[in-house]
Structures are given as C-alpha cells and as structure tokens.
Chain A
Amino acid sequence: MTNSIPEIRDADLLFVIGSNTTEAHPIIAMEMKRAVGRGARLAVADPRKIWLTEIADWHLQIKPGSDVWLLNAMANVIVTEGLENRAWIAENTEDFEKVRESVLKYTPNEAEAFTGVPARTIREVARAYATTKNAGIFYTLGITEHTTGTDNVYALSNLVLMTGHLGIRSAGMNPLRGQNNVQGANDAGATPVFYPGYQRAAEPDVRAKFAEAWGVPQNEKRGLNLNEMMKAMQRGEIRGMYLMGEDIVISEPNVCKVEAAMNELDFVVVQDIFFNESCRFADVILPAACFAEKDGVFTNSDRRVQRVRKAVEPPGEARADWEILVEIMRRAGVKQPDYTGPGEIYAEMAALAPKFAGISHDRIDREGGLQWPVASADAPGTEYLHKGGVLRGKGLFMPVEYRAPFEEADIEFPLILSTGRTLYHYNAATQTRRSEGLSKKQPEAFVEVHPKTARELGIGDGQLVDVVTRRGRVRCRAMHSKQVKRNTIWMPFHFPTARTNELTTDAGDAVTGTGEYKVCAAKLEAVDEHSRHVFPGSYLTPMEAGE
C-alpha cells in the first residue's frame, strides 16, 4: 500500500477493484464503511455482488479477465474529457503521451461489450475518480491472479499517475496484502528478485555486498519464482525441495501436475505445524511452532512492522521455525553468529537493508509498529509513500493492451470459473478448518451458480455437482446465488474434499508468474446423491471427510 489503513476513513472516494474486502480484509472494510458513512463515494468493480456493493454508489459487475478494458476505458474518459492533472503529470511523470494515445481506442461504448459494464457507469466513475482529490484505489488478487496481472496493475497505476492521486493522505494505490506477513516475507528477501530490503539480486554490487556480509560467494544465475519452480519441477530440473509453512499441493494451480512432479523429487523437507497434504511427499518432516508460540515480527499491508510475541509453549518437541533454520544452517556449514533470539536476527537484516535501518525489536516494543522506510533509529516511520515527489524520480506511465485470459468459455466448457476466499476460512484452511465454530458456520465446499444458469442446466439449489475443467474434477454442492452473473460460477478453495486448484490453470503472468486463479473455463455436471461420499481428486476417504 502506498498509503495507510487508518487514512481510509478520511478518503472522499474509494475505488475497490478485485477485492472482496469485507470477507478477505474485514477490518479494512470497517474503515471503508466508516468513510462511506461519512459521505465518501464508493465504486466497486467485481464480477460478484459482494457485500460492499450494497453500500456502493456504483457496482461495475465486470466480466472476469476484462480489467484492462475497463481501466483503459476509464483512462479514455479522463483524457478525452481533459480531466487529467496536467501540472502534476508534467512535474512528476514521464511517457504520459504514450498512454494517452494507447487508450484512445478503448472507448466506453466498446468497453461495455467487453466488460459488461454500462458505458454510462464507466464515464461516471472515471469522472468521479479524476475529480475527487482524496481518491484511493484498493485492490487484491482479483487484479493480480490473472495472466494479465502485471498489465492490470499498470493500467491502475496509469489512472493514479494521470490524476495525481499519489503522495497525499487518503489516496494512492493500495494492494491489500492477503497474508499476515506476505509483505514481510518479501521485505526479508524470500524472493528470487530481491535480497532483503528490495535490493536487486540482478545487480552485481548487491550480490557482492551480501557475499561479503555472509562470507559466501553468491550465485549469479537468476532464481526461479514459485510458478517457475513448479514447472521446472515438472521438467525434472528441480530435484530437491525445502518447504516451510506452505502446502503447495492445495494452494498451487493445476495441482495434479504438481503432485506428479513432487512424486519424482529426490528429496523433500517439510517444516510445518500440521501434517499438511504436502507431507505425503516428504522425506523429513520437522514440527514447527505456530505464531502464538514464538517471537518475531510480521509486516502488514501498510508496511507496518509489528511484534509477534510468544504466548504459549509449543506442543511436544515442536520448535520455532527460526530455531530450526539456525540449526540447519549450522549443520550446512554456514557461518553465523550465535543468535540468542529473533531480535538479533532482525538486527542483522536491518544492518544490511537501509529501508529497515531504524527498526529494531526494542524500538517496536517501546513505540508500537513502525512503517518502513525508517532511515535511522531516531527517524519516524513513513505513513504514506511518494510524499513530495514520486520515489522513483518520475512516475512511469506504461501503456497496456487488452489480452484475453488464458482460457475463455467455449462450447465444451461454457462457464467461467472464478475462485476466492470466504470470511470464515483462510486459504488452505489448515488452521480455520480446525475451528469447531467456523466449521459449523461453513462446513462444506460449494459452488455459486446464478439461478437462471442453474435452471438451464437443470441443477437444483443444494444439489450435488461436479465442477469440471480441462485439468480436473471436484465434487461439491451447487448454491443458487445472484451474487454471480449468469454463466459465471465461483468457488472458495478452502476445502480438502473439493480441491479447487485441481481445476485452475497454471498459466502464469509473464512477469510475476502468478497463476490465473480467477478465470478458467468450466462446466457443471449434476451428480446423483448416492455419490455424496466420493470426492474425486481428494486425498480424503469418506470417513476422513466426516461423512
């Protein structure tokens, strides 16, 4: 997020796209509700009638995968009606002309055909966004989990740059981070592109710096991202794997292929708090402590580094992940200090990463969470980025052209399947499924189908169906719902009885490799009630599944 969560309440316009905020980020949604209660206008672009649309001024019920069309059409309205912020553009950006020219052909009228959003609505929202000063954009995986994910983000940032909604309070470009520490994992350099603190792995100086700090030469070869790893594994190029706290055979798209490749690996270590599904492929399983059993920091969506504190002892012999890693490193012969705790590990990272230079456990304990960048021990945190000029020097406009999703509906697979998270469960649900209360509230997998589509297919409300794509088949209950548009279906991915990611495609974004979880072609087949104990593609036997 360029801006901060507490600023949301003071915004005058919120443009929420590809984020079911009330379910995925309920507390941010409370801030949005508060802004709307104060009189802020709300535009929600989502294929589904999510809760927020009830209090929205506009719902742009977009066809999945047509985001670039919608956003370019909004840009089209802004430039053709002269609503762009010329002074700001001139001072802070470059290449505006390229985008201005590229969006001219994306007229709202044509956009209506591609996106399903009325041209009038596109015009209204574009005007409102351009002419409101404190206007913020909020998005999540509905934008990024596409083969065009990077393009979608560029299209959004073009809107931000042409209106100058950057570097001020209650505005900006705000990806809402999906997981407690997804920001912090990237901050710490657990990514092939960056060393800690976003120092580029491709730059020789950066590698030299870390080679010296760690006393080990650094590999020059570009590392693989997660999506590339999965494919390299399928080609036999990855032979060994260390998995810490991630259940890839639930969470990766097109999991059947992933499993086949996992079977062929020479050696797999899994470090986790539960015997997750990936453990079936492991040679060594190391029991880890959960967040309540250890110390450390998480970095949230608005770059706020906050403390995690040990509340209870871990069960049995389980150990904190950091303790396990320190021991693995020692045995692997890595030179390292005798860390007495995570505070010292953080200090080592902060000394190597200028963005975190002023952050320490002691300081967070004294002052509460700190938002990076924090230049020094007496410098304050940074509430919002790009204040007084774009960080990069000049904000770069990036023209993007619409590309169709990897898969579109056809005769054989006439429906579009989109996937996501619900309020009551969390991702692979290894944690939330073990809550009696939550499981009671939402016990089993379902697929949302528009009643008219369901009627055409002869599928009743609550009927057992198979959801089928070119990659797999899973079984769950059909739920008639007007949340989805006709011919679009939606499924959560939390349930081991219906592993939604057997269905999704592993076609990834060209830059990030993020899989297209949000769009694939599917069909529904009614299943006889007698088959309710059988779950195609699931590891679980009917007894394990609680039937």
Chain B
Amino acid sequence: MSGSKFVVIDGNEVEFREGETILHAARRLGIEIPTLCHDDRLEPAGACRICLVEVEGSRLMQPACAFRTAPGMVVRTNTTRVDRNRQFIISLHLADTVADRDEAEDVSRSKLHDYAAQYGISEGDWPHVESPREGRADDENPFIAFRPDRCIVCAACVRYCDEVEGVSAITLANRGGRTTIATADLRSLDHTTCEMCGGCIAVCPTGAMTEKPALFYGKPERELERVRSTCNFCGVGCQIDINVDREANRIVKVTSPPPGTTVNDGNLCVKGRFANDFVHHPDRLTVPLVREVDGQLREASWDEALDRAVRGLQSVRETHGSDSLAFISSSRCTGEENYLIQKLARAGFGTQNIHQCAAT
C-alpha cells in the first residue's frame, strides 16, 4: 500500500493528512472513538487507554488520541479485541471511582458513566479499590471543589491548567495509587496562581472537579434544564449554557459548550462561569418606584410609573426643548433594546442626544 494517499479505518478510506491522529481521521469518517483524558484543546496524553485501537503491523494496540496516521495505514476500531479493552478499561476506572451512576452524578455529569452504560457495564464487575488519594478538605476557595474519591487521574484538569489557562495552579502529586491532583503545599486554590476559570471542571470526565455552589445546591445536573445564551460581561461573547432548576426558577450553574463549537472554544473565565449570584440577589429592584414631593421614594404601579416617566420627559421638552433631554443607553442591554431607545430619543422625543458608554 506504499504510495497510497489514504488511511483505511474500519474498511473506509480517508485522505491522509500530515500530523493527524487516528482519532481525528476517524472523526472525519463519522467514527467515534471513546476518550476520557482527551480534549482537542490539549496535547494528546494517552493516559486513560480507553481509545486503544488496532493498527495493522503493530503488535500492541495504539492510543487513537496520540497515534499519528501514516499513508496507507490500516486501522480497526470495531474488533472484539478493541471492544474487550474498552470494557476492561471502563471496569477498572469504575472500580477506582464511585461506581453507582446516581451517586457519581450527584452534581455534574460523568462521561465515564455514559460509556459504562453504552458498553453495558454495570457496577461491581470488579471490587472497589480504595485509592489513598489526598484531597484538600479545608480548601476554602469559593468556586472549585475536588473530590478525590471520584478522580481517575487522567490529568485532563492539570493539562488544561498548564496548556490552556497557562497558570499551572494544580499538579499531579505522589506516586502509584496515591497519585492525586494537588496544589503546591496542598494550599487552598485561592492562595495559588489559580484564576478560577473552572476549565478543570469542564474537562473532568467523572465530576471529580465540580462547582462548589452547585455542590451546595444539591440538585444533579441531569435534572437541570440547559439554556444556551451569551455571557453578559466582557466583549468576547462567550457562549454559555445556563443550567436552570425550572421548578425553583433558579440558575444553579453555568457550564461551557463543548470545545470547537463556539467562539470561546469551550473556555470560560471566572466571571462567566461563576459570577451569577447577582441574578437572584435580594437587592434586585422588583417594583417601580416614584419620588414624592417630599423627596422620598415610594412603590408605585407600572401604570403610574410609566405615566410619570413619560409626562416628566414631555414636560422638560415643552419647557426647554427636545435637545434639553439626554438618553443614555447601555452596552449591557441587548441590540433590540438599544435600537428601541435610540428610536425613542429620535422618534419619540425629537433629539439626537443618545449615547452609551462606548469608549472603545
């Protein structure tokens, strides 16, 4: 087959591309290979071994996430040997973590348990192994929880912290069964270089890294409704998934869409992921207020408040002219709202005095 420009995967030909891994070549053919430790934003690590596939001419199976294709290479991802390995790996990981799905997914979803269900592996195939992994029980950072009993040490979180966020706040520590995700001196995350982006949570395949506020809220992600929206802080326009407890009309947490699908490539920062307390804050204005002649504010009906607003503006216009009014809009509001307020200024009150905090 030398001289071929193709790679053959499960009998299908796909054009060879320099430097491409088996995982990505297979994806172009619509063949999904399971992965736990892999993320397209990270350098391949080949740590979890669930993606092993057969490569013709190679005695050992090879990790699809890290193994580069070559022209004429023949790969098989659907053999009994490959399947048996996947089941074996899933069973091993299950023995090392919380095997029961409901318990494992008490807060976040678990990709490992998705695969277990997909490959028909029930809990208890293997006896539970108690790994003496150290946690940070007294870590008082407000956002990110690490639960060592759920960790399978795939180190996706550590690699994300190094390679994507670039702050290297967490690290693998210790050896063998004691290997854990640690910080320097097991310090609280908020006393490290951590910037609380929560990327470690997004890449964790078992829910070992999870959002503290959601942990305290105590409703599994599976039971929440997901609403895709746009973050309301800076101008990057990150797409966010707002996870809502519909019955309670509450935002429980914000998660990031899968990498490669939106402008933020699956990334979020501390504000986008965690700064949503303000939505349900008791300080929110909930009723219209109008000021009395004595200078005090009192609650009013919408009807009264809107009427006062319009009459007040009209009376200024009548006394001092249209251009004595100023309309100040907000770059925090939507496009439609900005359209309406400039229309209000220009068509409703006859002035071009309309602006907002547009400094850049």
Residues of chain A having any CB pair with chain B under 8 Å: 5-6, 22, 24-28, 30-31, 33-34, 37, 55, 140-141, 144-145, 175-192, 195-196, 201, 210, 214-219, 221-226, 229, 232-233, 237-246, 248, 251, 266-267, 269, 272-275, 282-288, 290-302, 304-313, 315-322, 324-329, 331-334, 342, 345-346, 348-349, 368-369, 423-424, 426, 430-432, 434-438, 440-441, 512, 514
Chief secondary structure at chain A's binding surface: mixed
A6 neighbours in B (Cβ, 8 Å): 263, 265
Is B129's CB within 8 Å of the partner chain A?
no
Is B101's CB within 8 Å of the partner chain A?
no
Q: Interface size on B (CB < 8 Å)?
A: 112
B230 neighbours in A (Cβ, 8 Å): 180, 291, 297-298, 300, 306-308
Q: How far is the CA of A350 from the CA of B329 in the complex (A)?
A: 20
Contact: A190 with B334, CB < 8 Å?
A: no
Contact: B335 with A25, CB < 8 Å?
A: no
Q: How far is the CA of A179 from the CA of B357 in the complex (A)?
A: 9
Please tell me which one of the listed residues B284, B309, B346 contacts residue A286 in the complex, with CB atoms under 8 A apart: B309
Contact: A331 with B310, CB < 8 Å?
A: yes
Chain B contacts with A in 293-335, Cβ cutoff 8 A:
297, 302, 305-310, 312-317, 319-320, 322-335
Is B190's CB within 8 Å of the partner chain A?
yes
Please tell me which one of the listed residues B228, B285, B350, B355 contacts residue A224 in the complex, with CB atoms under 8 A apart: B355
Q: How far is the CA of A297 from the CA of B279 in the complex (A)?
A: 18
CB distance from B306 to the nearest CB of A (A): 6
A315 neighbours in B (Cβ, 8 Å): 280, 284, 286
**Chain B residue nearest in CB terms to A214:** B347
Contact: B284 with A176, CB < 8 Å?
A: no
Q: How far is the CA of A345 from the CA of B197 in the complex (A)?
A: 35
Q: How far is the CA of A395 from the CA of B191 in the complex (A)?
A: 49
Q: How far is the CA of A313 from the CA of B291 in the complex (A)?
A: 27
Contact: B343 with A214, CB < 8 Å?
A: yes
Contact: B284 with A229, CB < 8 Å?
A: no
CB-based A-B contact count at 8 angstroms: 474
Contact: B236 with A25, CB < 8 Å?
A: yes
B316 neighbours in A (Cβ, 8 Å): 239-240, 266-267
Q: How far is the CA of A182 from the CA of B359 in the complex (A)?
A: 9
Contact: A144 with B360, CB < 8 Å?
A: yes
Q: How far is the CA of A274 from the CA of B302 in the complex (A)?
A: 17
Q: How far is the CA of A229 from the CA of B317 in the complex (A)?
A: 16
A240-B312, A424-B270 known; A285 vs B334 contact (CB < 8 Å): no
Q: How far is the CA of A37 from the CA of B316 in the complex (A)?
A: 59
B289 neighbours in A (Cβ, 8 Å): 282, 284-285
Contact: B331 with A432, CB < 8 Å?
A: no
Chain B contacts with A in 128-145, Cβ cutoff 8 A:
142-143
Contact: A269 with B309, CB < 8 Å?
A: yes
Q: How far is the CA of A188 from the CA of B356 in the complex (A)?
A: 11
Contact: B336 with A322, CB < 8 Å?
A: yes
B306 neighbours in A (Cβ, 8 Å): 286, 324, 327-328, 331
Contact: A437 with B164, CB < 8 Å?
A: no
B323 neighbours in A (Cβ, 8 Å): 219, 221, 237
Q: Which of B48-56, B179-187, B202-210, B238-246 participates in binding chain A?
A: B238-246
Write out, one digit per residue, whether chain B residues 159-173 have a CB within 8 A of any chain A CB (1) or not (0): 000011110000000
A196-B342, A306-B230 known; A284 vs B335 contact (CB < 8 Å): no
Contact: A426 with B333, CB < 8 Å?
A: no
B322 neighbours in A (Cβ, 8 Å): 219
Contact: A284 with B190, CB < 8 Å?
A: no
Chain B contacts with A in 271-299, Cβ cutoff 8 A:
271-272, 274-281, 283-291, 297
Contact: B342 with A434, CB < 8 Å?
A: no
